[in-house]
Structure 1
Amino acid sequence: MTSTSTSADRQGYAPLAEINVTPLVDVMLVLFVIFLVMAPLLTHAIRIDLPRVTASSPAPRDNTVTVSVDAHGGIDVDGHATTLEALDTLLAQRAARDAGLVVTLRSDQKEPFGNVARVLAAIGHSGIRHVAVVTADSNDADPAQTTDSVKR
């Protein structure tokens, strides 16, 4: 049996034909875990004194529809009583006339969220994509008597 020998075989070792990436993967995983742990802490490291303001009422817009849900589940659109079934059709007609229509949703805080969610679903089915939820300022004593502020 003939064998061809190289100088590497004569010295007792063969050339390494592949790179060992295990140490590289270990280092990368450690760095990944360090950054994963440190990232949430970095946002709190920056001290910012945010300005304090009270919410004000936005200027009235021509393309705004106000949908109100009272404590007993009654639905009003711009002050006119309607039903949940008619709300979808009514808003779809208004949205067809004005593509930039914005719905401001006012809901009594005692109204269960399930009813408000059904109203939101009807608004979504009508094709309107801009909805503002109206809330009262938390510093006011009587929310029923305050000027509402719009949170978008």
Structure 2
Amino acid sequence: TGSIADNVRWGDAEAEMDAVLQATMQAQIHASVEDFPNGYETKVGQKGVNLSGGQKQRLSIARALLRKGHILMLDDSTSALDVKTEQALWEALSEEQATMLVVTQKIRTAKGASRILLIDAGKVVAYGTHEELLQTSVLYKKIAISQQEVEE
């Protein structure tokens, strides 16, 4: 509930509007917000606009970016995004001066990580870069093939 700007400011209640704009641009949600009837003052929730899953995810990311934390934890945070938006988001996040812990089921997302932990049945079963895991982990390679993320 509240406005879009209020929702983003949950990350930092004292944030200036410039900081809110910067966070939403980085989170790839700014253009969508501009399309809402009242922009950043548009109400969300029961008495306002209903947000799509991808918009909710990007607003949550904007909120986290506004905090400027040292660690950014993203748990399947791009599952509802289209490929183009997700790529733009990861490019923008690569500029962040924070350690990122990313939980994902998408190989294309994992590929960008400096290190990947492959977890199966609650246990770490492989560790390495994308290329290393393609060579050393049957499970990782099987997942990559199923998602068509292996270079032929």
Q: Where on the TM-score scale, by shorter chain, does this alignment land: which range?
A: under 0.3
**What is the TM-score of this pair, normalised by structure 1?**
0.26
- Radius of gyration: which is bigger? 1
